[in-house]
Structures are given as structure tokens and as C-alpha cells.
Structure 1
Amino acid sequence: MSSAKAVTDASFGTDVLTANKPVIVDFWAEWCGPCRMLSPILDDIAAQYSDKVDVVKVNVDENPAIAAQYGITSIPAVYVFQDGKVAATSIGAKPKQVLEQEFAAFLK
């Protein structure tokens, strides 16, 4: 089980949009194999960069409103939110080093 906080349609605004540091949001589903492969990688990033970013998870099956709002059609979809807006995206399971490169601006 992931150590990342589960975020719902109801808590998304508070947990993500009004956060005072960047938030990496993992849009995932239980049945998604690549999502399960990505989860420990995001847990590592959460632990290593806890002072720079928060990492949360949104189950798209349980929270369809937020998934629809951001046009999530392919998972895993990893979005970085900063100041209430999408600042970066990454689609698909990728190695930790690739995610660190894609999100380097938020991990410094």
C-alpha cells in the first residue's frame, strides 16, 4: 500500500489547489498494472523530496468528477499542481530518474 495521501473529489481543493508547495498528483486505478508499478517510485520521491513537494493519489474510479475535470483519459497520469494550476504532466509508468528529470523544477 502506498504511503501517499489519498485525495478525493471533496478534498482535492484543500489538499491540492490551495497547498503552499507543489503537489504531485497520481491519477490511478486499482486494476491498472502500470499504476501499481509506479506507486513505489512515487513513494520514493515523496520520501526523498518531502520538504519540496507533497505526493497524493486520486483513484479515478472512486473520484470521477476530478478525473473528468482534468481530462484524465489515460492512467497512470501524474500531474504537478503549483499555485492551483497544472504546472507539469507525465503520462504512463516511468523510471524514477525520468520522473525526477521531468519534474526537476519542482524538486530543487
Structure 2
Amino acid sequence: MATVNEVTDATFADVVLKSDKPVLVDYWADWCGPCKQVAPIIEELAQSHGDKVTFVKMDTNTNPVTPANNHVLGLPTIQVYVGGELVKAFKGAKSKSALLKALEEYL
């Protein structure tokens, strides 16, 4: 059973960019209502598909550098990286089915 781990500005390159598996990054903040809605969906996906995709979240309040470098302009933003490259990005809360569809080629 995989979980959604926290990633920081300091660990982003090692955890996300150097990963052997695709990585879904959830950029969030504690004041963001839609972020709180999508968090349990991402937790579910991590539990069911964490063997194939790594799921991480980044608190943009305490880690401002990486979101700025990756053009995160609104929350929640979800990005998918494969081989260190950004391959998909979504702004706003997404349904479980929309996230599954986005990840289907990696599952």
C-alpha cells in the first residue's frame, strides 16, 4: 500500500526528476478548499496504483521555489513527470476518473 509522500524544494529533483517511475505531483496549500477535495482522491490512487506511479504532494506555502520554477500559477495544480520531464499538467480539482484517464498509459 503506497502513500502520498511530501516532497520539498530540497528533495524535488531526487524524488521527482530522478524517479524510475512516473510521478504525479500535487501542489497544494492549507488554505485551498479544492486542494482538500482532491487530496483523498490522490490518496486512493496512491493506494491502488502506487506500484506503477509515485504520488507526492508539495506544500506551496513552505516550498515556493519549485512551484515558481514549474509555472504553478493556481492551486491545486497536478503535474505528471516521466523520466524527469513534465508530460501533463492540470489546474483545479479533478475527479478520480479524470485523473485515472490522465494516468492510464502509465498504469
Question: Residue 31 in 1 paired to residue 31 in 2?
Answer: yes
In 1, distance between residues paired with 2:93 and 2:27?
Answer: 11
Instruction: Determine the structure 2 residue equivalent to 1:15.
Output: 15
TM-score scaled by structure 2?
Answer: 0.94
Describe the superposition over 1:34-76 as per-residue Cα deviations: whole angstroms up to 9, x where unpaired: 0000000000110110111010001111110001000111110
The percent identity for this pair of structures is 37
Equivalent residue pairs, number: 105
Question: Which residue does 2:86 correspond to in 1?
Answer: 86
Which stretch of the first structure deviates more once superposed, 84-93 or 19-28? 84-93
Q: 2: CA distance between counterparts of 1:20 and 1:84? A: 9
State how far apart, in whole Å, the 1-side matches of 2:57 and 2:28 are. Answer: 7
The runs of at least 4 consecutive aligned structure 1 residues that moved more than 4 Å come to none
Superposed CA RMSD in Å reads 0.9
> Runs of 5+ in structure 1 lacking a partner?
none
Cα distance between partner residues in 2 of 1:46 and 1:66: 22
Structure 1 residue 103 displacement after superposition: 2.1
Which residue matches 1:51?
51
Q: How far did 1:11 drift? A: 0.3
Aligned to 1:76: 76
Q: Secondary structure at the match of 1:93?
A: coil
TM-score (norm 1): 0.93
Q: SS of the residue aligned with 1:103?
A: helix
The CA distance in 2 between the partners of 1:102 and 1:19, in whole Å, is 19
